[in-house]
A and B are shown apart, each in its own frame.
Chain A
Amino acid sequence: MKRGIEVSIAASEAAKLARVEAIAAYPITPQTHIVEHLSELVANGELDAVYVTVESEHSALSACIGASAAGARTFTSTSAQGLELMHEILFIASGLRLPIVMAVANRALSSPLSIWNDHSDVMATRDAGWIQLFCENGQEVVDTIIMAFKIAEDRRVLLPVMVNLDGFQLSHVVEPIEFPSQEEVDAFLPEYKPLYTLHPDRPVTMGAYATPELYTEAKYAQEQAIINSLPVIKEVLSEYSRMFGRRYRIIEIYNAEKSDTVFVAMGSINENIMTAIDGMKKNKKSCGLVKIRLFRPFPHSELAEILKSKKNIIVVDRAMPGGSMNGPVFNEISSLCNRYNIKAKLFNYIVGLGGRDVLPEDFVSIYDEVKSSKVVRPLKGKKEATTQNYKVIGVRE
Chain B
Amino acid sequence: MAKPMEEYKWHELNVGCVIEEVGSSREYKTGGWRSLRPVWDESKCIKCGVCWLFCPDAAIYQKEDGYFTANLNYCKGCGICAHECWPMAIKMVEDEK
Contacts and interface: CB of A to CB of B under 8 A. Distances in A.
Contacts of A203: 22
Interface stretch (A103-111, A218-226, A377-385): A218-226
A98 interface: yes
Interface in A188-246: 195-196, 203-211, 213-214, 217-218, 220-221, 224-225
A211 B6 CA distance: 9
Given A211-B5, A217-B10, A204 B15 contact: no
Contacts of B24: 205
B9 interface: yes
Contact of A213 (B6, B15, B16, B22): B6
B2 interface: no
Interface in B1-50: 5-6, 8-11, 13-20, 22, 24-25, 28
A218 B16 CA distance: 8
Nearest to A198: B18
A39 B63 CA distance: 57
A140 to B, nearest CB: 30
Interface string A88-101: 00000001111000
Contact of A95 (B6, B11, B16): B16
Contact of B17 (A95, A98, A195, A224): A95
Interface in A159-208: 195-196, 203-208
A20 interface: no
B11 to A, nearest CB: 7
Given A211-B5, A213-B6, A98 B16 contact: yes
Contacts of A98: 16
A158 to B, nearest CB: 6
Given A203-B22, A204-B20, A205-B24, A217 B15 contact: no
Nearest to B19: A205
A143 to B, nearest CB: 27
Interface residues on B, range: 10 to 19
A203 B18 CA distance: 10
Interface residues on A, range: 20 to 34
B18 A206 contact: yes
B49 to A, nearest CB: 29
Contact of A217 (B9, B18, B20, B28): B9
A187 B40 CA distance: 68
Nearest to B4: A213
A195 to B, nearest CB: 6
Contacts of B14: 196
Contact of A204 (B8, B13, B19): B19
B13 A217 contact: yes
B15 A195 contact: yes
Interface string A69-107: 000000000000000000000000001111000000000
Report which residue of B5, B13, B18, B28 has the largest number of chain A beta carbons within 10 angstroms of its beta carbon: B18
A97 B15 contact: yes
Contacts of B28: 209, 211
B11 A221 contact: yes
A380 B6 CA distance: 51
Nearest to A96: B16
Contacts of A217: 8-10, 13
B16 A214 contact: no
Nearest to A215: B17
B5 A213 contact: yes
Contacts of B8: 214, 217
A98 B17 CA distance: 12
B15 A218 contact: no
B18 A196 contact: yes
Contacts of A95: 16-17
A196 B20 CA distance: 9
B13 A196 contact: no
20 contacts: A95-B16, A97-B15, A158-B15, A158-B16, A196-B20, A203-B22, A206-B18, A207-B17, A211-B5, A213-B5, A214-B8, A214-B13, A214-B17, A217-B9, A217-B10, A218-B10, A218-B13, A224-B10, A224-B11, A225-B15
4 nearest A-B pairs in the assembled complex, by CB-CB distance? A97-B16, A205-B19, A217-B10, A213-B6
Given A95-B16, A204-B20, A221-B10, 16 more contacts: A97-B15, A98-B16, A195-B18, A196-B15, A196-B18, A196-B20, A204-B19, A207-B17, A210-B17, A213-B5, A214-B5, A214-B13, A217-B8, A218-B10, A218-B17, A221-B13
